[in-house]
Structure 1
Amino acid sequence: MVLRQYFNIFQMAFLHIFPLVLLLLNTSNSIQAVSSSFSCESNVAERGKTASIICKYTKDIRNASVKFCFANTTTCPERSELNTYNRKLTSDHGRISLKLNHSAILIINKVQILDQRNYYFFLEAENHFGRKYVFLKVVATYTNPQVRRQNDTLICTATGGYPEKYLYWFDKYNTNLTDRSKFVAVPNADGSFSLNSTLLVDSSDSKMAYCCTFNNTNSFHEPQGSNKICRRGDSIASTQQKFHRFLPGEQIPA
């Protein structure tokens, strides 16, 4: 009699609990499946301009939160920087904002180099949830290379760019002289770099020209619009060349 009572209690408990277990399993599977259906995209951002990261789903996204991860990692702060649940929609004095318009859109105005990082999105659409890491790449344009002479040394500089680049040296015969130079890249406070390369030259050969460029090439076809600055004797010539190189005996602009 006692065993029968225990059996009835167990049977009733099982009948109540089993549907709940199935519901939880189905919900878990549904969330996992939907997670891959959210998509986020971003373009390369240019310093000083406006960039956006857009996250989409097959239906309207109702809520979203964004965490700004630490540099070069997918490790993020515990709290979200932006969050539609509690209407915290702007950051950094309004420079960065989050809005919902069918999609979730993160807008970054006056892009800074320090904005290059992973952004962690938590997205909600009709009881389905998604989690996405999106990496925003930032670029900044360097100043054109500048060359000055100090005794028997040529000094080439370029500043304010990102990511870090290298400066290469060639003579007018397109001989690569970079291995004879000394190069230093110094990070600036805003995340950009200042480049400095020095080359020891033969002061007795006043007709020889030396060129400083971002491009490590001595082929005839240089990248279109590549910046190159050349120096011969006491004169400097700066050109933006397209598919050009210096040939033996060619005149270098004064």
Structure 2
Amino acid sequence: MASAVLLFFVLMVMSVRDGKSEKSLFNLKCESAVGVISQNTNIPCSIESQKKPVSINTVVLKRLGQKKPCFVYQPHENTITGDTRFKVLGGSSLQLQNTAISDEGEYEYHIRTSLGEDLIKFTISVTAKYNNPVITSVPEKIEKNGRAELHCTASGGYPAGTIHWFDQSNTNWTKSASLDITRGDDGLHTLSSTLRFQSFDTLWAPFKCIVLNNKYQEEGRSSFILERKDVSETTVGNNTMTNTIAGVVVIGSLVAGLLVALLCRQRRVQHPLPSEPQYDEEKEGLEGSVYKETADGRQDFSV
């Protein structure tokens, strides 16, 4: 009985030693990867071994914190289980197709070969480049020393980045701006920055809007030359308004005078003046009069 127990212990020690010797001949190395959304992401891995060639039996990929593997590959049987977007390339390297934001995280990579097995961890980070920023101003034409707002918007990026403002002399105005970050249903971010001025100096233009990713690397920029509202333009506008008002006053006066004239004429028609007697040249008298001769020979005209 004792001899049987001793034999079992020796065999167990030998198996452990053999396992260690096999493990020392096989080492797996992988690099963390940065993937771009909707593109393929390569995870470079390599096998370091004192014995060659090395035959791979099983590949198991599992997300950290999850019990169930997300990808299992057995090359001898040519079977794949789990997420078919993963592929084994070049022996031990991996590729993730159509990368999504949900793929971001830490993974455990377990590989079993003819020389033993090894496990290593790596991380997949996901990025998406922001679209080129667009700058607008309120108002569109800015008057010197007037109020103004500059708006810069960049969308379609991941992770969340930031926006910086610079004027024509490369002075940084970012501290005076407000930044708003929104995340869409697709997980991508939109950056919106607003730079406000109580008194704008047109000599500061043009302004530059620069988009930076989460690592403060530039991903895009736009310049905007402001349309300046000149004093002459304002004067022309005021003169036009003045001339318009003057024309309205003149026309109004003419209309009022015409109305007064029409009113006076109407009153004269309703109330005519007494008619004066008219002289009749044939009778050398007044029309409507009666000619009489008095007893003393005098002539008399009576109406």
TM-score (norm 1): 0.70
Tell me: CA distance 1:100–1:174, structure 2 relative to 1, closer, same or farther (3 Å): closer
Q: Does 1:60 align with 2:55?
A: yes
Q: Does 1:192 align with 2:188?
A: yes
Q: Which residue matches 2:69? A: 80
Instruction: Output the CA distance in 1 between the equivalents of 2:37 and 2:185.
Output: 14
Say which SS state the counterpart of residue 212 (structure 1) adopts: strand
Q: Which residue matches 1:99? A: 88
Instruction: Output the CA distance in 1 between the equivalents of 2:18 and 2:175.
Output: 62
Q: Which residue matches 1:178? A: 174
Q: Does 1:19 align with 2:16?
A: no
Q: Which residue matches 2:261? A: none
What do residues 55-82 of structure 1 show as CA deviations (whole Å, max 9, x unaligned)?
3323132211111x2xxxxx33111111
Q: Which residue matches 2:124? A: 136
Q: Does 1:29 align with 2:20?
A: yes
1:215-234 pair list within 5 angstroms: 227-234=220-227
Q: Which residue matches 1:44? A: 34
1:143 Cα shift?
0.7
Say which SS state the counterpart of residue 130 (structure 2) adopts: coil
Say which SS state the counterpart of residue 201 (structure 2) adopts: coil
* Contact 1:116/1:137 (8 A) holds in 2: yes
Instruction: Output the CA distance in 2 between the equivalents of 1:98 and 1:77.
Output: 20
RCO (CA 8 Å, sep 6+): is it higher in 1 or 2?
1
TM-score (norm 2): 0.60
1:144 Cα shift?
1.0
* Contact 2:104/2:124 (8 A) holds in 1: yes
Instruction: Output the CA distance in 2 between the equivalents of 1:147 and 1:154.
Output: 7
Tell me: CA distance 1:186–1:226, structure 2 relative to 1, closer, same or farther (3 Å): closer
Q: Which residue matches 2:295? A: none
Tell me: CA distance 1:120–1:190, structure 2 relative to 1, closer, same or farther (3 Å): farther
1:32 Cα shift?
5.5
**Larger C-alpha radius of gyration, 1 or 2?**
2
Instruction: Output the CA distance in 1 between the equivalents of 2:43 and 2:212.
Output: 31
* Contact 1:208/1:233 (8 A) holds in 2: no
Count of residues in correspondence between the two structures: 208
* Contact 1:149/1:155 (8 A) holds in 2: yes
* Contact 1:89/1:97 (8 A) holds in 2: no
Tell me: CA distance 1:112–1:104, structure 2 relative to 1, closer, same or farther (3 Å): same
Alignment counterpart, residue 116 of structure 1, candidates 85, 95, 104 = 104
Q: What amino acid does structure 2 have at the position aligned with 1:64?
A: V
* Contact 2:19/2:116 (8 A) holds in 1: no
What do residues 100-133 of structure 1 show as CA deviations (whole Å, max 9, x unaligned)?
75x1343222222332222221100115111111
Q: What amino acid does structure 2 have at the position aligned with 1:79?
A: K
1:160-179 pair list within 5 angstroms: 160-179=156-175
* Contact 1:47/1:111 (8 A) holds in 2: yes
Instruction: Output the CA distance in 2 between the equivalents of 1:118 and 1:29.
Output: 27
Instruction: Output the CA distance in 2 between the equivalents of 1:98 and 1:204.
Output: 57
1:43 Cα shift?
4.3
Specify every segment of 5 or more residues in structure 1 that has no aligned partner in the other structure, as ranges: 1-8, 70-74, 217-222, 236-254
Say which SS state the counterpart of residue 16 (structure 2) adopts: helix
Tell me: CA distance 1:203–1:24, structure 2 relative to 1, closer, same or farther (3 Å): same
Specify every segment of 5 or more residues in structure 2 that has no aligned partner in the other structure, as ranges: 140-147, 229-303
Q: What amino acid does structure 2 have at the position aligned with 1:84?
A: Y
Q: What amino acid does structure 2 have at the position aligned with 1:20?
A: L
What do residues 193-231 of structure 1 show as CA deviations (whole Å, max 9, x unaligned)?
111110002565334312211369xxxxxx9x8733223
* Contact 1:97/1:108 (8 A) holds in 2: yes
* Contact 1:62/1:100 (8 A) holds in 2: no
Q: Which residue matches 2:274? A: none
Q: What amino acid does structure 1 have at the position aligned with 2:80?
A: K
Tell me: CA distance 1:200–1:24, structure 2 relative to 1, closer, same or farther (3 Å): same
Q: What amino acid does structure 2 have at the position aligned with 1:148?
A: T
